[in-house]
Structure formats: structure tokens, C-alpha cells
DNA sequence: AAGTGGTCTAGACCACCGT
DNA sequence: CGGTGGTCTAGACCACTTG
């Protein structure tokens, strides 16, 4: 047994008001560090609250508050009686968290992804700026179509940081059953935490019109997304063209 | 002093698993009832945690958890050392909570609202369905333009439940300095709690093109919104046409 | 029955705000 | 200084899941 003078392993710098952060937030950061390090993989159970309280030498209530915040941020999932689990993009509950497209009439619909290409390329200045890398650095460029009920509805151009995903191939995309983020998380250990989307209305150009089977000039919803992993590190930029004839982008304003 | 057998005023039906709701959630509902009843108006301070704990005969921690949830839902705002306050649309922090339009380059920009018309009308079947009223019931129909830096960027058609807002006039809209929701909350006591937006890309028709100064057929972002007040009651439906030449709709995916 | 998360309490103390 | 929200603790008990 350790004989500590202080109750907690963590120095309590309560008075230094500039960098003060409460105990539960320090615990949270430690747990996030463990997630980043892969101590527990997606879908795994993390140690119980009591066990974490012992490990960090704090009360269970403090651990609880840390986990509360992480559950609210979709990093962890609580299941009463079972434990607390690392969130995963394989979970069906997360399928529509990053794809807000819904059919105008009727229920949540399944879609099929059709990857068209997947090549390593040098980052343009624009892509590099968004992904916080240098122009000319490697990026993985993907083109794909999403079909709802057989009809093409979305055309995506996706750019992934090359350093992390260089081994990705078209075959691998085609043979994978689940979502792209699910693949990136399970095959590359990189989990998408949050994203920003910027939406505009544009007219279809010739290339996109062919992919979506619409007329050139047809109004399309342009959705540009930057996705971030732990530590607010941008790892994906994508540009999606949504045909909103029979679908719409649904957003909840809390 | 009351001499209660039970610790709390509220019956603890912990075993009836069908309708079980924890104490803090029951407290939360009571506080929401007080908000609906107008016991404390927008911007007012509600009683302290200790006072509420006394009133409801529960511990401060339980009150705290109830208020935590309400703060997370933007119903209340906590301010350390000062108290807990009823959220208000007059608060600048809420200006961009319901208008997600941002200029492409540069910082959050002020906009001016130009109301064009405000008339009481019979609800169409479409509007009535969304607002959960009967076709033919009264609605207040508003048209307006939002200008950023003098340029028209948004054209809105707004429909409000007539029962609540029948006294609204064009003059009142024109003379009011702040946001529409701010007016509805202060003048009619109806607070918008949350909203759903459905986004599509459409081609500008002649009427809208004139208002926005664009060509007919120009791609526009169509934003349809249903806004709800307490108890998930829909009270507003609006259809906004956004010109996204120099602006975009920003959405955070948590 | 044992182990997990979920609720509730009582009390101590800290950080912040106003007077 | 007193009052407010914010943090932390220790312990009790409840609800859910699994064996």
C-alpha cells in the first residue's frame, strides 16, 4: 500500500487561479490519455468507477463526474448494471450522428456506399491548410457515392491525413461492410470525436451531375466537413454534394 | 415547521418501475412548471440551491442535479457567486444559437432585420399540420429580410400560432431593436426552447430572387424550421431562403 | 449473490461576487 | 463579510445485469 501524505495523487493547486482545474477534470484528462494510448479499445469496458477511484485515489463521486462529462461528449457509453464502455462507430446509434441526411417521407433508411477511387496524393494548399499539414504532404484521396434505395444521393470527395492512413486501399474500402469511420477506428486506431460542417447551396457541375444523375446546374447541398480526433487534431476533410430532391439535412437546435 | 413522515414532499415510488423517475427529475419538472407559470421571468434569478432544497425538502445535491440538467438544456444559466438565472433570448450568447449563418471570411457579424409584412391569416393545411392546429385557425404570417453588411442574405416566411401572438403588428416588429424571439418572449411570455431545421438546396423563384437580388434559378439554401416552447409545443414554423454566396450554415457535430 | 452504474444525503471546504 | 454556485468526500441504498 502506498502511504501518501495527500489524499490524491494529483497536486491540488486550487489557489493558482490561472491554471486551476478541478480534480474531476484532471481525472477526465487522465482517462482520455488512456483512450488515446489505446489502453482500452473501442467497445471495450473500462474499469469500474470504484476501481478507477482506487487507482486515482479519489472518491467515487469524483470519478463519476469525470465519466459523466465524457459520456455527454460521446466518448464513453454507460450501461447500468454492466459497466462503462468506450464508444465506437460500429454502434448503430452512431450511424446518423455524422450523417444528418434523412428521407423526406418515412423512416431512417439504410444506405450503401460505393467507393470509386482511393489514391495517395500530395496535399493542395487548401487541403493542407484545413488539415494542419504542409502543402505537398501525403493525403489519401477518396471518391465515393452513397445510394439510398439504389438511387445515388451523395457524392463525396474525402481527404485523410496521409501519415495516419497511408495503407488504405480501394479494395479495403470495398470489402468493408460498415461505415468509413468504423473502418478507420478498427483498422487504424483513429477515432473521430467531433466535426464541423459548413453548408452551402451550389449548382451541379458536369462531373458531379454525372455521378448523381442530375442535370448540370441542378441545386445541390454542398457540405464541407472537418473531422477531429483526440486533442482537436484535424484528420479528415471532405466535400459532399447532397441531392436534396427526396432527402433533407436534419439539424436539431438545442 | 411541517412534521413529515417522509423525508421528501414527493412520494418515492421507486419500486413501480414503469413510471419511476428519480427525485432530481421530479424536482426538475416542478421547476419547469414554475418557469411555464412565469413565477420567474426571463433574466430573473431563481431561488438559491439551498432555498430550493428547503422548499422541496430534499438535499442540495439533488436540487443541484436538477439544475445541472436544465442548464445543459439552456433553460437556466448559472453564474458563480451570483445565482442561477432564467435564460433569455436577450442574452447575446443566444443570438447565434438559432441562426447558424456565418460569413465565409471573418468574424461573427451583426445583421439587421427588415420586416416586410405581418398579417393574420387562416392556416393552410400544411402549416396547420406542422403547428398542430386546425386548418383555418389563425396564424400570424410575417415576411422579412435579414441583411448582413447592408446586403440581403436571408428571406424568411414566418408563421406563428395565432392564438398566442394575435396582437403582433408590423409596426411592433419594426420598432423592436432585438431579435424576434426576444420580442416574443418579452411581449408575449412565450419562450422558444428548441427547434428542428430541415435543409435543402433549391433554385430561386422570381419572388425570392427579387428580395435577395439574385438571378432566378440561383441556388439557395432552403431552411425550414419548427420551433417549440415548453412541453414540446410547436409555436412557429418558418421557411428561410439563404443566399450562400458569401455566407455558410455552420453546424457542429458532437 | 455479486458486481455494476444510479440516486440521495450530510457536511466540509473552495472560488467568486457583491456590499 | 455573507451569500452564491462549485468541488469533494464518505456512506447508504436502489436498480439493473449476469452468473
pLDDT in tens, A63-94: 999 999 999 999 999 999 999 999 999 998 89
Q: Which residue of A has its CA nearest to B94?
A: A254
- Residue B14, CB, less than 7 Å from strand D? yes
Helix, strand, or coil here: A23?
helix
Interface test with B, best of A234, A251, A254 (most B CBs within 10 A): A251
Give pLDDT, residue A110: 87
Per-residue flag: B50 CB under 7 A of strand C: no
State the Cα–Cα distance between residues A238 and A30, nearest whole angstrom: 31
- pLDDT, one tens digit for every residue, chain B (254 residues): 332 333 444 444 444 456 789 999 999 999 999 999 999 999 999 999 999 999 999 999 999 999 999 999 999 999 999 999 999 999 988 989 999 999 998 777 789 999 999 999 999 999 999 999 999 999 999 999 999 999 999 999 999 999 999 999 999 999 999 999 999 999 999 999 999 999 999 999 999 999 999 999 999 999 999 999 999 999 999 999 999 999 999 999 99
Pairing of strands B76-79, A247-253: unpaired
- For residues B171 and B156, is the Cβ–Cβ distance under 8 A? no
Q: Output the pLDDT for position B18.
A: 60
What cell was used for B14? 421507486
**CATH architecture for the domain at B18-86:** Orthogonal Bundle (1.10)
**Pairwise CA distance, residues A54 & B245, whole Å:** 56
Does B126 touch chain A if contact means CB atoms closer than 8 Å? no
Task: Give A74 to chain B, closest Cα distance, Å.
Answer: 8
> Which residues in chain A are closer than 8 Å to B198, comparing Cβ atoms?
102, 248-251
Dihedral in degrees, nearest 10, Cα atoms A159, A201, A192, A80: -160
Instruction: Give me the percent of chain A exceeding a pLDDT of 70.
Output: 93
What does B120-156 look like in DSSP terms, one character per residue?
A: EEEPPHHHHHHHTS-TTSEEEEEEEEEEETTEEEEEE
How far out from the chain centre does Cα A232 lie? 11
Residue-wise pLDDT for A169-199, tens only, equals 999 999 999 999 999 999 999 999 999 999 9
Q: Are residues A118 and A199 in contact, defined by beta-carbon separation less than 8 angstroms? A: no
Helices and strands (H and E) in chain B: how many: 8, 11
Distance from CA of A3 to the nearest CA of B (A): 32
Handedness of CA A159, B96, B143, B137 (dihedral sign): positive
pLDDT tens, residue by residue, A229-251: 999 999 999 999 999 999 999 99
**Topology given in CATH for the domain delimited by B98-249:** Chorismate lyase (3.40.1410)
Q: How far is CA B231 from the centre of its chain?
A: 12
pLDDT, residue B107, reads 73
Nucleotide nearest to B79 (CA to C1'): D5
The bridge status of strand A151-161 relative to strand A233-242 is antiparallel
Burial class (CB in 10 A: 0-12, 13-18, 19+), B197: buried
Q: Chain D positions under 7 Å from a protein CB? A: 3-11, 14-18
Tell me which chain A residues have a C-beta less than 8 angstroms from the C-beta of B251.
Answer: 100, 196-199, 251
Q: Which of B97, B217, B244 sits opposite A253 (nearest CB)?
A: B97
Task: Give the position of cell 426576444.
Answer: B182
Which residue has better confidence, A109 or B14? A109
Query: End-to-end alpha-carbon separation of chain B, Å?
Result: 48
Quick check: B159 and B127 in contact, CB under 8 A?
yes
Contact at CB, B250 and A196, closer than 8 angstroms: yes
Protein CA A73 to sugar C1' C3 (Å):
26
Strand C closer than 7 A to residue B24 Cβ: yes
- CB-based contacts of B99: which residues, under 8 Å, 6+ apart? B111
What is the CB neighbour count within 10 angstroms for residue B213?
12
Domain range annotation of chain A: 18-86, 98-249
Instruction: Give the span between the Cα atoms of A71 and A50, in whole angstroms.
Output: 17
Of the partner residues B200, B217, B225, the one whose CB lies closest to the CB of residue A221: B200
C-alpha gyration radius of chain B: 22
Contact assessment for residue B239 and residue B157, using Cβ atoms and an 8 Å cutoff = yes
C-alpha to C-alpha distances, B36 to A152, B98, B166, B179, B185, nearest whole angstrom: 46, 21, 20, 21, 12
Q: Which residue, among B148, B150, B146, has the nearest Cα to B105 in the 3D structure?
A: B148
Least CB–CB distance from A203: residue in B73, B219, B249: B219
Residue A81 CA and nucleotide C1 C1' are separated, in Å, by 14
Taking an 8 Å cut-off on Cβ atoms, the answer to whether B221 and A200 are in contact is yes
In 3-state terms chain B splits into helix, strand, coil percentages (rounded to 5) of: 30, 35, 35
For chain B, say whether A8 makes contact (Cβ under 8 Å): no
Rounded to a whole number of angstroms, the distance from the CA of A5 to the nearest CA of chain B is 29
> Phi/psi class of residue A219: alpha, beta or left (left: φ > 0; alpha: ψ in -120 to 50)?
beta
Amino acid at each position: 500500500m502506498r502511504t501518501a501524505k495527500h489524499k490524491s495523487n494529483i497536486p491540488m493547486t486550487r489557489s493558482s487561479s490561472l491554471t486551476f482545474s478541478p480534480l474531476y477534470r484532471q481525472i477526465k484528462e487522465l482517462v482520455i490519455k488512456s483512450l488515446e494510448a489505446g489502453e482500452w479499445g473501442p467497445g471495450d469496458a473500462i474499469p469500474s468507477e470504484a476501481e478507477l477511484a482506487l487507482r486515482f485515489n479519489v472518491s467515487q463521486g469524483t470519478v463519476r463526474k469525470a465519466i459523466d462529462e465524457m459520456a455527454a461528449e460521446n466518448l464513453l457509453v454507460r450501461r447500468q448494471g454492466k459497466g462503462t464502455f468506450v464508444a465506437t462507430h460500429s454502434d448503430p446509434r452512431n450511424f446518423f450522428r455524422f450523417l444528418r441526411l434523412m428521407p423526406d417521407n418515412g423512416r431512417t433508411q439504410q444506405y450503401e456506399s460505393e467507393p470509386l477511387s482511393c489514391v495517395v496524393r500530395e496535399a493542395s494548399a487548401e487541403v493542407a491548410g484545413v488539415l494542419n499539414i504542409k502543402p505537398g504532404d501525403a493525403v489519401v484521396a477518396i471518391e465515393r457515392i452513397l445510394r439510398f434505395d439504389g438511387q445515388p444521393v451523395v457524392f463525396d470527395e474525402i481527404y485523410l491525413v496521409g501519415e495516419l492512413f497511408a495503407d488504405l486501399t480501394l479494395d479495403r474500402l470495398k470489402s468493408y461492410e460498415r461505415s468509413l469511420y468504423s473502418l478507420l477506428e478498427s483498422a487504424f486506431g483513429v477515432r473521430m470525436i467531433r466535426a464541423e460542417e459548413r453548408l452551402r447551396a451550389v449548382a451541379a457541375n458536369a462531373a458531379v451531375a454525372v455521378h448523381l444523375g442530375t442535370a448540370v446546374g441542378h441545386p445541390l447541398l454542398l457540405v464541407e466537413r472537418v473531422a477531429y480526433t483526440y486533442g482537436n487534431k484535424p484528420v479528415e476533410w471532405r466535400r459532399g454534394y447532397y441531392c436534396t430532391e427526396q432527402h433533407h439535412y436534419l439539424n436539431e437546435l438545442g
